[in-house]
Amino acid sequence: MTRPSVTWPVVAVVAIGLVWAGHYVWSTVTNPLDSEEAAWLIRPLLWSLVLVAPFVLWTAVGRTLEKLETEDGESLAPLSRKAYVAGLPLLAVAIWVLGFLPATLVYTPLMCLALGERRPVAIALTTAILLAVIWVGFHIGLGIRMPLWPRGLG
Amino acid sequence: MIDLALIGDGATLLATWQMPLVIVGGMLLGLVIGAIPGMTAALGLAAILPLTFKLDALTALMLMTSVYTGSLTGGGFLAVLINTPGTPGAAATTFDGYPMAKAGRQNEALGLQIAASVVGGLISYLALLFFIQPMADFALLFGSAEMLFLTIFVLILIASLQRKSFARTIFAGIVGLLLSTIGTSVSTGVARGTYGLDALADGLPIILCVIGMFAIPELISIVAREAISVDPGRGAKARDIVAGMRDGLRYRWTWARGALIGTFVGLLPAAGATVASLLSYSAASRAAKPGERFGEGEPKGVVAAESANNASEGGAMAILMSLGIPGSASTAVISGAFLLHGLVPGPRLFIDNGDIVYGLILGNLLQMLALGVFAVAVASQIARIVTVPSRLLAPALTIIIALGAYSYRGLWEDIVITFAFGLIGYVFRRHHFTLIALMIGLFLGAQIDEDFVRFVILYGDRPATLLERPIVAAFAVLSLALIALQVRLAIRERRA
């Protein structure tokens, strides 16, 4: 038997893909503007997806890929991976609220610690290099306008 | 076909003291830009465009094309070192380049990549010098129907390379095509799938989606390891990179085939480099001898992909200069540089400014030779990345990716989109929904959408006439043959 942990994520991907694609096509064709032409490509793509889905599910409930999927060692089980994934939305929000420089100042040391780094000098150096890259490389060198500080301060 | 007097005039224009400076400066800048995840060649080119105001036309164009050449090769460094194609054209480089880096052979892989890039670029610019007109005529054979069938063929080709997950690869490709159509439909003006978000009105930022879905899953993967390489003792050694370059030159048939594929497929707008490198990789893996393990760190895989990737640059420049069509965002910015200096890309460019055009082609040949030297210098520094502890590397690269994402359009939402595609990429990769297929769908879908509308208007009532077009018929037959081959192999395996 294929393990449920191997089967269910595939079923979920297929289900989410089909639901999203169905809604995408439906919302396009029901657009009050003349949108039949806008769905000329996406409608056949939806049907192609529906056609392929059973074959994908068959490989998930069958044993075709079981060996591959249990050997790749990329699960989210290690704590460091969980911490890294959780840090992504937090970083995005921090950049929105604090701006790039404070967000980097907060995110980098905390994430380094969460991933197991215990040398203060290495953490400080990494943070300092990143702050320099943002300020000197991107802001001054490339002249990119970005929110460096919290809104209203920069 | 070729005007020797104009070539002589072009060579004379190159003999100025500024020329070596702009080639070296542009090349180094391009290599560094290409090696930053999230930074695109187009962004780097746009940033330096204002610097060219005071330069004469040829010097300005040489600076721009040096940055372009450098960034294409720099994008390949990322593909080898962190499994992230800096440009979509470098996607096939990850197949064997990254397994080599993980096994501690990153210097060799970088050497192979640099040698193949130099040779591929040289061959394509030589082809440009001698055959620019036939190359432009070839590109014009590809109309909307041909591009549509080419995309279908490429998706099936990728799926056939991923035999054990054939259905999932096709599924990922179709999802990619659907995602790429999000935004305002060019042909009807109807906003599709934007959920009212202004950031999606122009569609998804494709290059950021690609960076996110390749880089983030890799970072998720490496945080549970000490570093990228299993052999951290072997960090960066220029001598090993040069040895890798020597090795790369030994695979004559592989790089020659890759360069030819790259030069001609590179002519196709939007698709060029990506399709070329995948086709070249596919051709090399099908010609594999016993013992050659493509996908597990086979040097020929890196050579095949990168020679085609860089050779596509000549194709892209050919189509830009001869027809005035920019095939990518980068060549669109270069086209802007032409216009800024009073040169109009298109058929009259050769008549009115033939000396500058040939000067530019000769200068690009010189660039390719310089690339070999400077790429080794930059790569030997960047290769140290594989030995940096992942607990420091992952947060640092995440910040750089966020910076690159924000820089793209100045939108915070782009950071969210990049990270979201990172998580989608992780789930897809973990469960063998091939990311390359998703990327191809994303990258070609918008063009296909336009082509499909044109195709329905032209042939909607008589689709069978399509098969009278030889290129369409050829791609249709090849696609069906590939599917039949997969079915046959699956049945044989089941019986065994």
Output the pLDDT for position A114: 95
CA distance B248 to B240: 12
Task: Check if A28 contacts B (Cβ < 8 Å).
Answer: yes
Residues from chain B contacting residue A53 (CB–CB below 8 Å): 171
Output the pLDDT for position B2: 66
When pLDDT is cut at 50, 70 and 90, the band that residue B113 belongs to is very high
Residues from chain A contacting residue B491 (CB–CB below 8 Å): none
Task: Please indicate whether, in this complex, the C-beta atoms of A89 and B430 are within 8 angstroms of each other.
Answer: no
- What mean pLDDT do residues B141-169 have? 77
B422 vs B163, which has greater pLDDT?
B422
Q: Quote ipTM for the complex.
A: 0.92
- For B315, B343, B415, the CA distances from B284, given in Å and listed in that order, are 21, 40, 37
Q: Does residue B392 have a pLDDT over 90?
A: yes
Q: Does residue A4 have a pLDDT over 70?
A: no
**Do the beta carbons of residue B180 and residue B204 sit within 8 Å?**
yes
Chain B residue with minimum CA distance to A55 = B167
Window from A117-121, B160-164, B385-389 with minimum mean pLDDT? B160-164
Tell me the nearest-neighbour CA distance from A153 into chain B, angstroms: 17
Identify which of B217, B406, B432 has the shortest CB distance to residue A65.
Answer: B432
List pLDDT tens digits, range A9-28. Answer: 899 999 999 999 999 999 88
Interface of B with A in 276-335 (CB under 8 A): none
Task: Please indicate whether, in this complex, the C-beta atoms of B164 and A68 are within 8 angstroms of each other.
Answer: yes
Residues from chain B contacting residue A69 (CB–CB below 8 Å): 430-432
Chain B residue with minimum CA distance to A84 = B220
Chain A residue with minimum CA distance to B48 = A142
- What mean pLDDT do residues B155-169 have? 77
Residues from chain A contacting residue B164 (CB–CB below 8 Å): 64-65, 68
CA distance B32 to B96: 22
Interface of B with A in 389-448 (CB under 8 A): 389-392, 394-396, 398-400, 402-403, 406-407, 410, 412, 415-416, 419, 422-423, 426-433, 448
B183 DSSP assignment = E
Alpha carbon B408 to chain centroid, angstroms? 18
- For A62, A121, B206, B406, B423, the CA distances from B266, given in Å and listed in that order, are 40, 48, 19, 29, 31
List pLDDT tens digits, range B369-386. Answer: 888 888 888 888 887 777
When pLDDT is cut at 50, 70 and 90, the band that residue B85 belongs to is confident
When pLDDT is cut at 50, 70 and 90, the band that residue A63 belongs to is low
Interface of A with B in 106-135 (CB under 8 A): 107-108, 111-112, 115-117, 122-123, 126, 129-130, 133-134
How is B482-493 classified by DSSP, letter by letter?
HHHHHHHHHHHH
B425-430 contact pairs (CB < 8 A, 24+):
B425/B212, B425/B213, B425/B214, B425/B216, B425/B217, B426/A74, B426/A85, B426/B216, B426/B217, B426/B220, B427/A9, B427/A13, B428/A13, B428/B172, B428/B213, B429/A74, B429/B217, B430/A9, B430/A69, B430/A72, B430/A74, B430/A75, B430/B217
Task: Please indicate whether, in this complex, the C-beta atoms of A65 and B164 are within 8 angstroms of each other.
Answer: yes
Task: Please indicate whether, in this complex, the C-beta atoms of B164 and A144 are within 8 angstroms of each other.
Answer: no
When pLDDT is cut at 50, 70 and 90, the band that residue B63 belongs to is very high
- What mean pLDDT do residues B451-457 have? 80
- What mean pLDDT do residues B94-100 have? 89
Output the pLDDT for position A1: 47
- What mean pLDDT do residues B321-343 have? 79
When pLDDT is cut at 50, 70 and 90, the band that residue B426 belongs to is very high
Interface test with A, best of B28, B32, B223 (most A CBs within 10 A): B223
SS (H, E, C) B317-370: HHHHHHHCCCCCHHHHHHHHHHHHCCCCCCHHHHHHHHHHHHHHHHHHHHHHHH
Residues from chain A contacting residue B429 (CB–CB below 8 Å): 74
Task: Please indicate whether, in this complex, the C-beta atoms of A87 and B398 are within 8 angstroms of each other.
Answer: yes
Output the pLDDT for position A70: 47
Domain definitions of chain A by residue range: 4-71, 79-141
Round the average pLDDT of chain B to a whole number and report it: 83
Task: Please indicate whether, in this complex, the C-beta atoms of A129 and B396 are within 8 angstroms of each other.
Answer: yes
Window from A109-113, B37-41, B399-403, B448-452 with minimum mean pLDDT? B37-41
Interface test with A, best of B178, B411, B424 (most A CBs within 10 A): B178
